[in-house]
Chains A and B, each alone.
Chain A
Amino acid sequence: ETGVTQTPRHLVMGMTNKKSLKCEQHLGHNAMYWYKQSAKKPLELMFVYSLEERVENNSVPSRFSPECPNSSHLFLHLHTLQPEDSALYLCASSQDWTGGSPLHFGNGTRLTVT
């Protein structure tokens, strides 16, 4: 069973749509993350949740809204996105929210905003 599962794998949406990305981890980890990966740019941390509490929000526009109902599930709600938001969105988890814990990534959602 895959440790971190993301759905959908691909998503095309218009600028007026509302959609949600889902992430589930089966590793018993306490921290979950959303990252954005754009071409030729480093991975950008968007949000961190530790034990269901948001511990970091890296100046992400409000059109991205995270939700963490429990330590195994993480959502990213999207609304009124812009074409520059097209990217690969990666969910990750780690044992705890310290830099020494390796990240386990999901296979990502490739988002295209038209």
Chain B
Amino acid sequence: RKEVEQDPGPFNVPEGATVAFNCTYSNSASQSFFWYRQDCRKEPKLLMSVYSSGNEDGRFTAQLNRASQYISLLIRDSKLSDSATYLCVAVRGTDKLIFGTGTRLQVFP
């Protein structure tokens, strides 16, 4: 079993839709989590950190469920520019970042 698992998608949604991705992690000792965004043929960029209490940044909301060992990313009012691959990251111990394979989102007009 992979340490960090994501549905590869693609998720095809119309503009304005709300879409949510989940990411499961197997190491219960993981303490920190992130979502990165990677555009086609570009480098990953940090989208947001995931806090225990959940956090929101504009149209994006990240949540952590420790009991079920998953994190989620909710995107409201999807834009064409949101089309990208979203990478889930769990931090094992104090320093090891474990990346998921990513979930591809395609927003269509």
Contacts and interface: CB of A to CB of B under 8 A. Distances in A.
B68 interface: no
Contacts, number: 49
A42 B43 contact: no
B94 interface: yes
A104 B44 CA distance: 8
A102 B46 contact: yes
Interface string B70-96: 000000000000000001000111111
A42 B4 contact: yes
A1 to B, nearest CB: 16
Contacts of B55: none
Given A43-B87, A105-B43, A105-B45, A98 B94 contact: yes
Interface of A: 40-43, 45, 90, 97-100, 102-108, 110
